[in-house]
A and B are shown apart, each in its own frame.
Chain A
Amino acid sequence: MQKTYNVIYLLALMILPATAAAEGDDITWNTVLKSQFFAGKNIEESNAVIELDAPYRAEDPAIVPVKVTSKFPQSKDKYIKKIWLFVDKNPFPFVGEFEFFPESGKADLALRVRVNTYSDIRAVAETNDGKFSMTKKFVKASGGCSAPIGADLDEAMKRLGKVKFRLDDGVQSGQPALTQLMISHPNLTGMQMDQMTRFIRKSHFIDQLKVTFNGKPVLNAKIDIAISADPNFRFYFVPEKAGELKAEFTDVSCESPTSRNVCSKGGSYSQSYTVSP
């Protein structure tokens, strides 16, 4: 028996390199995403505008920390207008579209996403000169007993709509300040079985998020079910003086997990936080 196992192990080793070559293909990008989101645009693959950080192995596919870092500060003359994020192999690859402003200070963004299987994560940036650039990272989402859902949805549901801001100590006037926005929401994917009719199959997720400081925009986002339960964002804003940081968001419920044609509006939420540099 031992011998049989050894042989099989050797065979497995010989076959592995063929599997490894399948990492990070551009099929979904080339056949679906590019034409759907960037028809007619020329997109350069480069790390000169933004860089993407993601773990190579995601032990918890329900919460994969991802970070986009911009390569230059936001200024009136040169700034990043938008960043799109996609998880190619998710049933609904679109993660979000994030709009930044010169007043954002830095177009950096950290968030947590769901990754269903082995997939590229892709970030596309549009700068104010109308140019597009793209960068990607391959992530192996773990199998086993893990599912990209969330461990305790009842707890997230109980807290639904609760919001927390976290700012570093020593926020300085006129300097980009890093802030963390935490929203409690189960962000249901709607990816449920068909056979059991007693369960709601609709998705229920935050679709729009707007952050302002003293009424001026800091971050506008259109987001979807690939955002982990209890959405968590880190980004910058520039507090020139004391004021009010405000997050406003809405949620939505859609009939199909993979189409946004039939959706019904949910609630509107708002939370403010006083900042005094």
Chain B
Amino acid sequence: MKFVLLLMGLLTSYSSMALPPLSFSQVAPGIYLHTSAHHWPDRDNHGEIANIGFIVGERCVAVIDSGGSPQQGVALRNTIKQVTAKPVCYVINTHVHPDHIYGNIAFKEPGVQFVGHHKLARAMATRGDHYLGRAAELLDIQVNQDNIIPPDIEVNDTMTLNLGNRELLLTAHPSTHTDNDLSVYDKATETIWLADLLFLEHIPVIDGSIKGWLGEMGRLEKNHYKLVVPGHGHLVKDWPASLQPQKAYLTGLATEVRAMIKQGKTLEQALNSVGLPAKKNWQLFEQFHRKNVTIAFAELEWED
């Protein structure tokens, strides 16, 4: 027993150790991106699994997603200080998921405005308690309601933020990955930060609407972008080619689920058969595919 206690002591001290500095690359002038490897959020990675970053203008800095833990938020803040003396003026949360917002508190100070989709505050209110309640157990991090910071600026449709001779065009999307996804377009470099509207390598996760997502991909696909930043996966330079695996997966899912609903099949039957060959194409398939089938089924059974 003593032995076990000693081991647990070791683990605890490890988890409270300072984080290694975040790796960042400047993917375009003034755009800094930290790309994460694909993991299920757990006590080892503390939920630090999403791509996060910032954009520097002549006047100030906009953070795009603050990180998956308070510590990652601090690491991001420290990185920004090393890169530029300009202050952070905006923290843009692309959607409600914890891996994108738990670093918020590191930036909470006068002069910083939090920005999100007009449905973000509601999503934070309805999901916040549940996320917070399990964070200590699942992610080994200490968070409370102070870590969930609703937006000061809500985007209803589109909005332009000016960082000083640098304009960011924010778009509030209809229900897609979640019901509160916001993308950020940097006019100067023709870069769009799609966040979790785009997954590469990591299986796309539906937590909003498969129909909405398919529709939005159809619109985004027609646009020209030099660079596209996904929420999970590597930087994209060949838009829209890199969108195709996600589009194929979600299209296939919708087609198969619709067919099963038409045949009078049940959700349980769909869970055991739909989309399984896609497993070879995606990381974390086991963790998310059945959730995707469930959400798609529950949505599509009401479409007529």
Footprint of B on A, CB under 8 Å? Answer: 4, 8, 11-12, 14-15, 18, 55, 59-60, 63, 65, 67, 110, 112, 116-117, 142-149, 151-155, 159, 162, 166, 168-169, 180, 182, 184, 191-193, 195-196, 199, 228-230, 232, 234
By CB atoms of chain A within 10 A, which of B14, B145, B208, B291 has the most? B291
A151 touches B126 (CB 8 A): no
By CB atoms of chain B within 10 A, which of A12, A147, A151 has the most? A151
B71 within 8 A of A: no
What are 30 sample pairs from A and B whose C-beta atoms fall under 8 A apart? A8-B14, A11-B11, A14-B4, A15-B8, A15-B11, A18-B4, A59-B289, A59-B294, A60-B290, A63-B298, A110-B266, A112-B267, A112-B298, A117-B134, A142-B287, A144-B41, A146-B291, A147-B130, A149-B126, A151-B175, A151-B206, A151-B207, A153-B126, A155-B302, A166-B264, A180-B266, A193-B148, A196-B125, A199-B121, A232-B267
Q: Name the A residues within 8 Å of B131 (CB-CB).
A: 147
Q: Which residue of the partner chain, among A11, A60, A112, A191, contacts B129 with CB atoms under 8 Å? A: A191
B181 within 8 A of A: no
A63 to B290, CA, bound (A): 11
A168 touches B264 (CB 8 A): yes
A112 to B121, CA, bound (A): 27
Q: Which residue of the partner chain, among B121, B130, B298, contacts A148 with CB atoms under 8 Å? A: B130
- Minimum CB distance partner of A11 in chain B: B7
B121 touches A196 (CB 8 A): yes
Question: Interface digits, B245-273 against A, CB 8 Å rule (1 contact, 0 not)?
Answer: 00000000000000000001011100100
Q: Name the B residues within 8 Å of A193 (CB-CB).
A: 124-125, 128-129, 145, 148
A117 to B131, CA, bound (A): 11
Given contacts A65-B267, A154-B179, contact A195 B41 (CB under 8 A): no
- Minimum CB distance partner of B175 in chain A: A152
**124-153 of chain B: CB within 8 A of chain A:** 124-131, 134, 138, 145, 148, 150
B205 touches A230 (CB 8 A): no
B195 → A minimal CB distance (Å): 13
Q: Name the A residues within 8 Å of B212 (CB-CB).
A: 152
Q: Name the B residues within 8 Å of A8 (CB-CB).
A: 11, 14, 44
B151 → A minimal CB distance (Å): 12
Given contacts A145-B98, A193-B148, contact A60 B302 (CB under 8 A): no
A60 touches B295 (CB 8 A): yes
Given contacts A59-B290, A193-B148, A196-B125, contact A234 B134 (CB under 8 A): no
**281-304 of chain B: CB within 8 A of chain A:** 287-291, 294-295, 298-299, 301-302
A59 to B267, CA, bound (A): 13
B10 within 8 A of A: yes
B266 touches A152 (CB 8 A): no
Q: Name the B residues within 8 Å of A117 (CB-CB).
A: 134
Q: Which residue of the partner chain, among A65, A116, A143, A191, contacts B268 with CB atoms under 8 Å? A: A65
B268 touches A67 (CB 8 A): yes
B199 → A minimal CB distance (Å): 12
Taking A145-B98, A147-B130, A166-B264 as known contacts, 15 extra A-B pairs with beta carbons closer than 8 A to each other, sorted by chain A number, are A8-B44, A15-B11, A65-B266, A67-B268, A117-B134, A142-B287, A151-B178, A151-B208, A155-B209, A159-B302, A168-B264, A169-B264, A193-B128, A193-B148, A196-B121
**1-38 of chain B: CB within 8 A of chain A:** 4, 7-8, 10-11, 14
B264 touches A145 (CB 8 A): no
A251 to B291, CA, bound (A): 28
A95 to B102, CA, bound (A): 32
Q: Which residue of the partner chain, among A18, A144, A149, A168, contacts B40 with CB atoms under 8 Å? A: A144
A149 to B209, CA, bound (A): 14
Given contacts A11-B10, A154-B179, A168-B264, contact A192 B125 (CB under 8 A): yes
Q: Name the A residues within 8 Å of B175 (CB-CB).
A: 151-152, 154-155
A144 to B208, CA, bound (A): 15
A199 to B299, CA, bound (A): 25
Q: Which residue of the partner chain, among A146, A184, A230, A234, contacts B266 with CB atoms under 8 Å? A: A234
**44-102 of chain B: CB within 8 A of chain A:** 44, 97-99
A229 → B minimal CB distance (Å): 8
